[in-house]
Structure 1
C-alpha cells in the first residue's frame, strides 16, 4: 500500500495525457479548510509527485461550496504558546514554497470561495483559472480576524498584481469576483463553468510563463517606490484606526516592506499579533457570525422563489431590490407607478455598481417587477409589508392581503417598533405573521432581526430565517418587544449623546470620540442618517417617559430632520456631513465610555428579559446591527473583560 492509498482528504488521478488531477474534499466537512492533517496529506502528495513528476498538476475542489475557505480557524483558537504560533506560520509557508518550486506546471481551478490560505495555495501555483459565475470570491481576509496572511500571500500577491492593489486587498479583506480577479491579473482567465476542465488542461500544458506584475506595478515592490507605498498605507491605517485597535494591519505593511512577506523573519510580530486581545476578539466575532449564518440554514425549509413587497419607500424598495439582486423574482407594490419609480431607479444604480456586467444587471432588473395592482401577492412565498409605522394602515393592508395569499405563504412585516401582538389582531391565521426587520441601508447592513411572538408558528419562523440566509444576510431571532434588540440599544446611546450636546459638548467632538473608540460613525451622525424624527419616536418609546433632549426638540421644531432635509446636527452636502476640522473642538475625558454604557446596559436588559436568547447572540446582533467596535468582541464581552 502506498502513502496515497491512506489519504482521507485528497484524491489524486492521472489522465492519459500525463496530467495529474488533485481533488481536495475534506472528510466530514461541508467546506474545504486547511488544517494540520489536510496539509500533511498534501505534503505526501507532493512527495509522490516528486518521485514520478506529471506533465502538469491541476488542483481543484470536490465540494460544491467552493475551492478552499481558508485555514481551519479552530487551530488558531487553540494556540497556547508563541512556539505554536510560529510553527503554524512555518507549516504553511514551507509547504506552499515547496508547491511553488515543483518542476512541473501547476494550476488552481477555482470555483466559489478561495479565501485566506486557499488563495495563498492558489498563488503558489503557476496558473489560476476562475469560474465565470456568481459566488466566486478571491480574498485574503485574515486582517478581519486580527491576523495576517503568513503562508506566502504577503510575498506573492504584491509580485503578481503590484503592491498598491495587493495591500488594498490585504488591509481591507475585500474580495475580488471572477471579473475583477481577471482584470487585476490575479487570475489568468475567467472561464464558463462548462469549459473549466478543458481550459485547465490547455493552460497547464501551454508552457506560458507565470504571470507577474509589470511596469509601474512591478516597480512598487522595489525601493524607493516600496517605501513610498508603505508610508502611504501606514497613513491610511492611522487615519482609520488612530488608537491602534487593530495591530494586524500595520504588521502586514511592515512584513511586506521589510521582510518580503516572511513573518518568520519577525517572530516578535507573530507572537504579538497571535496573542493579542484583538485577534482573540475578532476570532470570537467570526464565530458569532457563523452562528448567525447557521440560523439562516433551516433543514426542511423550502427556498423562497417569489417575494412580494408592499411599500416602495426607501426600506421597501431597497428590500425588493436586494432580493432581486440575490436571484429571487420580486413584485413591488405601491399605490401607483410614480411611487414605485424611485425604487426602480435606485435598484438600477445598485445593480450597475455591484454587478458590473450589463447583462447581469439587466437580468436583475427583469426580476424586479413593478406591481401597482398587487397581483404578485397571490404567487409569493413570502409577502413583506414595509409601509408607514401606523398600526391601522398595516392592519387594513393585512385584511386585504391575507385572503389572496397562498395557504403556505409567510406574511412578514418590516416594522421597527410595533409589536407582532398588535399587528396580528384580526388575522385569520395570526400564527404566520413574523417580523423580518432590515436595517438601512439594506445593501450594506448585514443583520436582519427575525421577530417572533408567543404563538408564532415554528414553520413560519424557520422559513423566515431561511429566507434571510438565502439572500446572504445574518438572521438574528428576537422576541417581539419595543425596539427588538438593535433599536432598543441604539436609542439610549443616541439620546445620551444628545444630552452631551445639551451640556455644551460640540457634536463633532462627540462623534470623533466614538469613532476613536472604534464605532463606524458617531452617534449624532448616525441620528442624522436615520432621521431625527425616527430617533425621537424610538426614544419616546424606550426612554421611560423622560423628556427628549433639548437639542433634539429644537431641531425638530425647525424641521431639521438630518440628512434627508440637509440639516440636523450637521449640514449635509452631497450626502456627507460637514464637520469641524480635527482639533477644533475637544471632548471631555471619559466621554466615549460614558456614552457606550447606556448601550451596554440596554443590551444586558434585552438578554435578561429574554428578548434575545443569550449574551453571545446579543453581542452578535449589536456588532452586526450597529457596527459596535468589533475589536471588543461585543458590548457584553467588552464589559466583562473591562470589569475583570
Structure 2
C-alpha cells in the first residue's frame, strides 16, 4: 500500500488514494499482535483527519493491516495510570471528542471489519457512516467494556442505540455479548456483509453510494426516545437486581444512567466516570482480564510444535463425548471410541444439539458433525496427534487401556487422561513412553467451562507440555499448567468449601440460606446446589480421595443411604424439577456465614500454591476464577485475601454499583454446572 501520509510520520496508519479518490487507511499498530487505541494512536487519528480536512477524499475506508482483526479496543495498559479523577475524565474525553469529530466529517466514511471489532474499535466504526463486515469465522462486533467493569465512553452508549435501537443495544452493552457478521447485518449494526474476496470492491461501492446513515426504526427506535427511557431502565434494573442483588458490579447501572439521563455522554456525569473507571471492581476485573490473557499465552503455538489435526477420544460418556464434540466444533477431525454403541449414539445426539446451537449456518453444523466419527474398534488411534482417555475412574482399567493404545499410537502422539482424582504417577507405571503422558482435565459442561488443567509429572518432556497447551488453545480453552497431586487445583479447593457447607447443614442451617449467602458473596451458584449438580456420590468419592481421614457429614450419609444423589436422581439436598432445584425462602444468614464458607477454599488455594501445584499466586487466582467461578469482582481468592481489612472484605465494601456477575461454575467428569449464555464471560 502506497503511503500518502508518509510526510506526517504516522506509525500506526498507512494510506493509499485510489483512482476514485477513495482514501484507504490501513490501521497497523507496530510491535503488538492486535490494534489497540492507545493515546498515541488516537492522536495520530487526529493528524489523519487534519490531513483530510486539507485534502478531502471522495470517501475514506478504514481497514486493518493485521490478520487478527480490526481493532481490539482501547489500550488497557493505560488504565494503570488513572490515579486521579481528572485523568479518568481525560481518558473518556479523548475518545469522545475524536470520534465525534470523525462522525462530523463531510465526506463518507466506512469501516471495513474483518475479524474482531471490540470496544473502542466498534465505537470508531459506529462513528463512520457505514460498516461493512466480512463473512468469515472470527468476525465479531462487541462492546465488552462491562466485562472490565467500565463503560463504552467514546460514543458507543449514544450511537449504538441510535443505530440498532435501545433493546438490542442495551443487551450488547450490559452483557458484553458479541455479534458475528450475520447477526450484525440482521441487527442493522452492519450495512452489508461480504465475502473476503469481494470486500474491497464492495467497500468502494458502498462508500460512494450516497446512502444515508442507517438508523433504527419502529419500536426499537421508539424505545430510545427520552420519554420511553425510564420504562426501559426500570425493566433492565429489575433484571440486574435478580442477577446481582448485592450490587457488586457498578458498570451496568452506570451505563443505564448515562444512556437515560445524559444521552450516552459520560462527560456530563464526571462523578460516575471516577466512580466506575477508578473503582476497585474495575481494577479487579482488569486484573481478571490480564489473568485470562496470561492463560491464553500458554495456549499459543510454540516454535517446533505441530498443531493437532486429529484427536482420538476413548470413552463416550458425558465428558468424553462432549470433549470429542467440542474438538469437532473447533475444526479438528475426531474419532470417538467406546465399547457401547448406544453411548456413542447419545454422544452424537448431544453433539448435534451443540453444533446447531453454535453454528447458525446448517452447512457448518453439518460439517462439524461429519468431523465427529464413531470408532468402535479404535482405528483412529493410529492417526491421532492426541489421544484423550475419558473412561471411568479405575486405575487398573486405565492402565490396561493404555497398553492397548500405546502399541497403536504414533511415536509423536500425546496420551492424555481426563482423570480428576487418580495419580498420574500410578497410571503411567507400565507405559513405554511415559514422557509423553500427561493430564488434560476438562470441566463440565465442556461447552461452557473455559479452563483445562494441563497436568504434568516429573519426566514429561517440555515439547509434550507445549503441545498439550497449544492444543488447549487451539480449541479455544484456557490452559492452566498444574502439577500432579490429588485434586490438582480446582477440585482440591472445592472439596473443603463443599465440606464446610455440609457441616453447616448438620448444624441446622438450611440449604437455601447457605446458597443464598454465597450467591450474595458473588459465586455463580451456592455450594449445596453445586453438590447436587455434581452428584452426592461424586462429592463423597472426591472427599475420600482428598481427605481420607475426614468422616462424612451426617447430611451426606443420610442422603446417600436413600440413594438421593442430587440432580441425576431428582432428589438430593433439593428436589429437582425440570432440571432445576426447588428452593424455599432463605432465612437470614448467621453473621459471617459467607466468610466461614469461603475461607476453607481460600486456605486450600494458598496451600496448593505453597505445595507448588501452580507456579505463582496469579495462576492460582486464574485457575480458581475460571474453574469455579470465584467472584471475579474480587480479583481471585488470594487477591481477595490480600485486601481483607479489619476482618472485612475491603474490595467488596468499596463496590458502589451492580454489574452482571460472571457465571462460570465448577464441574467434573460426572456432573455439570450450567453457565448462563448471557453471563459476563471473562473473557
Q: Same fold (TM over 0.5)?
A: yes
The separation in 2 between residues aligned to 1:5 and 1:468, in whole angstroms, is 44
2:193 alignment counterpart: 190
Of 452, 456, 472, which aligns to 1:448? 452
- Say if 2:298 and 2:479, in contact at 8 Å, map to a contact too: yes
1:263 alignment counterpart: 266
Of 217, 220, 233, which aligns to 1:217? 220
Q: TM-score, normalised by structure 2?
A: 0.93
Of 50, 54, 57, which aligns to 1:51? 54
1:627 alignment counterpart: 629
User: Aligned ranges for residues 220-619 of structure 1 at < 5 Å?
Assistant: 220-300=223-303, 301-581=305-585, 584-619=586-621
- Say if 1:4 and 1:45, in contact at 8 Å, map to a contact too: no
1:63 alignment counterpart: 66
The separation in 2 between residues aligned to 1:180 and 1:504, in whole angstroms, is 51
Q: Secondary structure at the match of 2:472?
A: helix
Q: Secondary structure at the match of 1:338?
A: helix
Shift of 1:2: 6.8
The separation in 1 between residues aligned to 2:576 and 2:132, in whole angstroms, is 45
The separation in 2 between residues aligned to 1:4 and 1:595, in whole angstroms, is 63
Q: Deviations over 1:179-211 (max 9, x none)?
A: 211111111122111111111111111111111
The separation in 1 between residues aligned to 2:301 and 2:179, in whole angstroms, is 29
- Say if 1:306 and 1:380, in contact at 8 Å, map to a contact too: yes
- Asked if 1:9 corresponds to 2:12, the answer is yes
Shift of 1:226: 1.3
Q: Secondary structure at the match of 2:643?
A: helix
Q: Tell me, which stretches of 5 or more residues in structure 1 are unaligned? A: none
Q: Deviations over 1:332-372 (max 9, x none)?
A: 00003212001100011011111111011001001111111
The separation in 1 between residues aligned to 2:193 and 2:427, in whole angstroms, is 50
Shift of 1:544: 4.8
- What value does the CA root-mean-square deviation take over the aligned residues? 1.1
The separation in 1 between residues aligned to 2:211 and 2:176, in whole angstroms, is 30
- Say if 2:5 and 2:14, in contact at 8 Å, map to a contact too: no
The separation in 2 between residues aligned to 1:289 and 1:41, in whole angstroms, is 30
The separation in 2 between residues aligned to 1:590 and 1:543, in whole angstroms, is 25
1:207 alignment counterpart: 210
Q: Deviations over 1:530-571 (max 9, x none)?
A: 111111111112235111111111111111111111111111
- Say if 2:489 and 2:613, in contact at 8 Å, map to a contact too: yes
Of 164, 182, 205, which aligns to 1:179? 182
- Asked if 1:89 corresponds to 2:100, the answer is no
1:170 alignment counterpart: 173
Q: Deviations over 1:225-258 (max 9, x none)?
A: 2111011111111211111110111000000000
Q: TM-score, normalised by structure 1?
A: 0.98
Cα 1:596–1:4 change in 2 (3 A) is: farther
Shift of 1:399: 0.3
- Asked if 1:138 corresponds to 2:141, the answer is yes
The separation in 2 between residues aligned to 1:336 and 1:204, in whole angstroms, is 59
- Say if 2:301 and 2:307, in contact at 8 Å, map to a contact too: no
Q: Deviations over 1:123-147 (max 9, x none)?
A: 1111111111111111111111111
Cα 1:51–1:484 change in 2 (3 A) is: same
Shift of 1:408: 0.2
The separation in 2 between residues aligned to 1:4 and 1:310, in whole angstroms, is 62
Shift of 1:5: 3.7
The one of the two structures with greater contact order (alpha-carbon pairs below 8 A, sep at least 6) is 2
Q: Secondary structure at the match of 1:268?
A: helix
- Say if 1:4 and 1:44, in contact at 8 Å, map to a contact too: no
Q: Secondary structure at the match of 1:345?
A: helix
The separation in 1 between residues aligned to 2:81 and 2:424, in whole angstroms, is 43
The separation in 1 between residues aligned to 2:439 and 2:118, in whole angstroms, is 34
Q: Secondary structure at the match of 1:149?
A: coil
Greater displacement, 528-537 / 378-387: 528-537
Q: Tell me the matched-pair count.
A: 642
The separation in 2 between residues aligned to 1:478 and 1:226, in whole angstroms, is 49
List, as ranges, runs of 4+ consecutive aligned residues in structure 1 with deviation greater than 4 Å. 1-4
Q: Secondary structure at the match of 2:364?
A: helix
Shift of 1:298: 3.6
Q: Deviations over 1:471-510 (max 9, x none)?
A: 1100000000000000000011011111111111111111
- Say if 1:3 and 1:44, in contact at 8 Å, map to a contact too: no
Of 636, 640, 643, which aligns to 2:642? 640
Q: Secondary structure at the match of 1:20?
A: strand
The separation in 1 between residues aligned to 2:169 and 2:375, in whole angstroms, is 45
User: Aligned ranges for residues 77-116 of structure 1 at < 5 Å?
Assistant: 77-116=80-119
- Say if 1:494 and 1:524, in contact at 8 Å, map to a contact too: yes
Shift of 1:585: 2.5
Q: Deviations over 1:139-169 (max 9, x none)?
A: 1111111110000000000111111111111
- Say if 1:77 and 1:283, in contact at 8 Å, map to a contact too: no
The separation in 1 between residues aligned to 2:386 and 2:443, in whole angstroms, is 18
- Say if 2:5 and 2:15, in contact at 8 Å, map to a contact too: no
- Say if 1:492 and 1:543, in contact at 8 Å, map to a contact too: no
Shift of 1:643: 4.4
The separation in 2 between residues aligned to 1:3 and 1:431, in whole angstroms, is 54
The separation in 2 between residues aligned to 1:473 and 1:216, in whole angstroms, is 39
